[in-house]
Structure 1
Amino acid sequence: MMTQQNAEINPNAIAQVKVLALLGAVLLVGANSFVLSPILSEVAFSLATETYHVAWAISAFGAATAVSALTLAGMIDRMSVGRVLGSAALLLAVAQVSSGLSEHWIWLCLSQALAGVAVGILLPGSYATATATAPKGREAARLGVVLTGWALSLVVAVPAAAFITEHVGWRMVYFLMAGLSVLVAGILVVLLSDIRGGVSTRTSPLRALRLPGVWPLLAVMLVYMTAFYGSFAFFGVGIRHAFDLTAQGSGVFVLAYGVGFGVMGFVLGMVSPKITRGYLCLVLLAIATSYGTWGLTLQSQISAVAGTAIWGMLNQLGLNALVVSLNRQASDARGAVMGLNSAVTYSAVFAGPMVMGPIYAASGFTLVTGVGAVLVLGGVIVSWKTV
């Protein structure tokens, strides 16, 4: 069990700074996850290759993250949190420098695979630390702030990457991210050195999966994330087709999603709801309704922007509730369980677009979100019966 070994003069202020450090770690993960997609064509032209070759770097990143999360995330249960997360952030910096220096698409793929190894430790470790060190009853609040790193990566990192690529080149995007990774690594080492796991032996993924309540929650997470990544993969093109927009015009909707997700994170930071089975089911029902009503949402750009922001808000609530619930079941194996969670999440990165691709090709974005609604409703049933 993670413990904080010393109390300083102003523990509340120090706790808030530590939360911001964890938010920075999630921001790093989100930035590396999202920045390549909008600059694929520029990177492909620079490397004199096809766009799909560069896209394989995203797949390499996701696959390596899943494997790393399964095999390495448990270190957070046994070692100094500052050293583990700081080392992972430094490894991410090395991978980003290597990505920026790439002269061939295979080099880029290998670099992003190395980034995935780092993220497989950094992301579950950040989630586990946020909930393990929160005062009792405030887990949702603390995690809500940390999860806002995802929103910031969408709102800040993605537009910045497009701007930097246009004016300086895509390589500078990775060099700047590497500098940020080094900065965050130092902060994590300094601020979290007094937090360490209290477990002397490694918890295997299989043992973590057998903990009471863990596998049903992971099943819910799988369908929830498959619905999200499958829908989000076709969200931009669906919006552009509905309103005949340019790529830049569709960026407003991505911004709306990020703002909604981020705003709800700060609301959770103040309210800190009690996460119960009923609360989880209610949130998932609201998310399923959001997916199911996109046919109406796309009637106008105003309703679409509002619907996108609400989608972001609801996804903050859903992800928060699921991660807090998983940590509650994890006991002394939070790192291992969060590793399983990250493995499931990045499996959904593959499964979502794969499942939804033929559906989009046949019937468009509205049916994609309809299938997403069905998947999330399946999660409601599992949650109600077993969680």
Structure 2
Amino acid sequence: MSVQTSAAAAAPAVENRLTAKDVLAIAGMFLGVFSIGADSFIISPILRPISEALDSSLATAGLGVTAYAICYAVGAPLLGPLADRISRKRMLLTGMALFVVATVLSAFVWDVLTFCITRGLAGIGAAMVTPNVMALIATTYRPPLLPKIIGIVMSALSLAIVVGVPIGSYLAEAAGWRSSFYFIAGLGLLSGLVLSSVLADNPPAAGGAKKSYLGAYAEVLRSRTAVFALLTTLTWMTGFYGVYTYLGTYLGDSLAISTATVGSLLLAYGAGNFAASFMAGWVVAKLGPRSTVMVNGLVSSVVVIALASADLDTWAVLLLLIGWAFTQGFAITAMTAVTAGSVPEARATVMSMNSSCIYLGLTLGSAIFGALFTRTSFTWVGVAAAAATLLAIVANVVATKPAKAAAGA
């Protein structure tokens, strides 16, 4: 089953093997997703030298991160339908080219305004890449390979969490902060070169080119599976980011440990999440998406409540964080597989909307749970996150409910 055969993208797969070009395509997509993920996390250790170089405060320089996130969150749903009307490969490579150029330009900025502009352009490029990577995977592969490949490629984001900050720190120390952007751009360029040589120029799905721009959104909104799959992502991510955003502060205060120790604990979480995401496809193929989300959602709910309310020592927290990392890696891969397969005629659109749901979950989680944390205690943050996760389980059950059963209900 080769990525060069567009016919294989339109029909159920009959092979359970990967060709050499498949392996190269997966490696190229992994590298592309990693470069985009690392671009987000590598900023943290170099923000101070950037602010000094631009003669601005840390908060002002941090607007570049905000510009990236806003342009990604807004750009993904706006650009998604275009990929369903034209070649997804062309859209992906255009996005990667924009990401690479904008990232290189980020190293040549002279004030905060130009920094925000280049970061915003990089965000738009990233918004064209990640959803189309997932759409291409869903178009090309079928179960049991589909969840496995999604898990492998998504693990690149977890790896970026683990190594993004250390890489940024090392490069900034060795060759200056601008070298961090050169490094990211180099990875993106390599990814683009690999993908341009092995990906087929997949045509739009049947009727996709004839569908209006808004018609792609209508196609998604008419699908019960897609709507509830997106709701699953939104509620799950709201709970996750609600805990993760304030977890470091809570652990530092409750355990009376240093910032470095907190960082080590979160690094362990990132490593566990990478391992889980890499293996998630095999778990999803064995249990199925519904059972994977249900089991890991219930375990995740118990873990966050334990983290937030139990009197724990550092080692117990470490074990709970690793367990939480595995539940996240397994469940999110299952949710992504459901979403990617929900609307075959508008895969890029639905995956772009999925990306927006992730960022909206980040926004809601950090805002709502932040108010909860400051006004009550972290215990209630854990309880609220568990409730959000349980809502996600319910939404996922509806999303994965067979159509005939749903019609007869």
TM over 0.5: yes
Structure 2 equivalent of residue 107 of structure 1: 114
Q: 2:171 aligns with which of 164, 171, 175?
A: 164
Structure 2 equivalent of residue 59 of structure 1: 66
Shift of 1:298: 6.5
Structure 2 equivalent of residue 125 of structure 1: 132
Structure 2 equivalent of residue 193 of structure 1: 200
Unmatched tracts of structure 1, length 5 or more: none
SS of corresponding position for 1:293: helix
What is the Cα-based RMSD across aligned positions, in Å? 2.4
Q: 1:316 aligns with which of 294, 311, 329?
A: 329
Q: Tell which deviates more after alignment, 188-197 or 171-180.
A: 188-197
In the superposition, relative to structure 1, how do residues 363 and 35 fare at CA in structure 2: closer, same or farther (>3 Å)? Answer: farther
- Give aligned-pair identity as a percent: 23
In the superposition, relative to structure 1, how do residues 56 and 338 fare at CA in structure 2: closer, same or farther (>3 Å)? Answer: same
Structure 2 equivalent of residue 379 of structure 1: 392
Shift of 1:289: 1.9
Contact 1:18/1:192, CA 8 A, preserved across alignment:
yes
CA distance, structure 1, for counterparts of residue 218 and residue 356 of structure 2:
13
In the superposition, relative to structure 1, how do residues 11 and 227 fare at CA in structure 2: closer, same or farther (>3 Å)? Answer: closer
SS of corresponding position for 1:142: helix
Structure 1 equivalent of residue 319 of structure 2: 306
Counterpart amino acid of residue 139 in structure 1: L
Structure 2 equivalent of residue 287 of structure 1: 300
CA distance, structure 2, for counterparts of residue 176 and residue 169 of structure 1:
12
CA distance, structure 1, for counterparts of residue 218 and residue 34 of structure 2:
29
Q: Tell which deviates more after alignment, 90-99 or 162-171.
A: 162-171
> TM-score, normalised on structure 2?
0.86
Shift of 1:96: 0.9
Unmatched tracts of structure 2, length 5 or more: 9-16, 401-409
CA distance, structure 1, for counterparts of residue 44 and residue 310 of structure 2:
25
Shift of 1:194: 4.5
Structure 2 equivalent of residue 226 of structure 1: 238
CA deviation string 1:105-140 (max 9, x = no partner): 222222111111111111111111122212333221
In the superposition, relative to structure 1, how do residues 298 and 40 fare at CA in structure 2: closer, same or farther (>3 Å)? Answer: farther
2:226 is the counterpart of 1:217: no
CA distance, structure 2, for counterparts of residue 188 and residue 386 of structure 1:
32
Q: 2:352 aligns with which of 339, 359, 365?
A: 339
Shift of 1:176: 1.4
Counterpart amino acid of residue 225 in structure 2: G
Counterpart amino acid of residue 170 in structure 1: W
CA distance, structure 1, for counterparts of residue 344 and residue 328 of structure 2:
25
SS of corresponding position for 1:273: helix
Shift of 1:84: 2.1
CA distance, structure 1, for counterparts of residue 356 and residue 154 of structure 2:
17
Shift of 1:88: 1.1
Structure 1 equivalent of residue 274 of structure 2: 262
Q: 1:15 aligns with which of 9, 14, 22?
A: 22
Instruction: Count residues in correspondence.
Output: 384
Answer with 1 or 2: which has the greater Rg.
2
Q: Tell which deviates more after alignment, 19-28 or 226-235.
A: 226-235
Shift of 1:369: 2.8
Shift of 1:385: 4.7
Structure 2 equivalent of residue 96 of structure 1: 103
SS of corresponding position for 1:136: coil
CA distance, structure 1, for counterparts of residue 210 and residue 290 of structure 2:
31
Counterpart amino acid of residue 20 in structure 1: A
Contact 2:273/2:328, CA 8 A, preserved across alignment:
yes
> TM-score, normalised on structure 1?
0.91
CA distance, structure 1, for counterparts of residue 248 and residue 172 of structure 2:
20
Structure 2 equivalent of residue 348 of structure 1: 361
Q: 1:84 aligns with which of 82, 91, 108?
A: 91
Contact 1:209/1:337, CA 8 A, preserved across alignment:
no
CA distance, structure 2, for counterparts of residue 234 and residue 355 of structure 1:
12
